[in-house]
Amino acid sequence: MHHVSAFSKYPQRYEEVIPSLQKCLSSVEEETGKIAVIWTIGEYGDIIPDAPYFLENLIDKVADEPSHAVRMELLTAAVKLFFKR
């Protein structure tokens, strides 16, 4: 996945991206974009104070999400966040 490799390549830059996550979640419509944002929340959820609330909003709308890949990433991120916190 491209989003994983970008963060792996520049791990020190995640702090620049995290403040924009909430804004991204409300505006991203494409599957790969949603997956990237959700992955970021799951991966760095231990340092994102509002991470559970970001995911909660998406979980509340999961029945309306047509993408199986987005739903799977949401499940993965929720589990990661649970164990990190």
Residue 43 exposed, middle or buried by CB count within 10 Å (0-12, 13-18, 19+): buried
pLDDT given for residue 35 in this prediction: 92
Q: Where are the domains of the chain?
A: 2-84
Q: What is the pLDDT of residues 14-67, one digit of tens each?
A: 777 777 776 777 788 889 988 988 998 898 888 888 899 989 988 999 999 999
pLDDT given for residue 26 in this prediction: 73
pLDDT given for residue 68 in this prediction: 96
Nearest-CA neighbor of 19 among 61, 56, 48, 55? Answer: 48
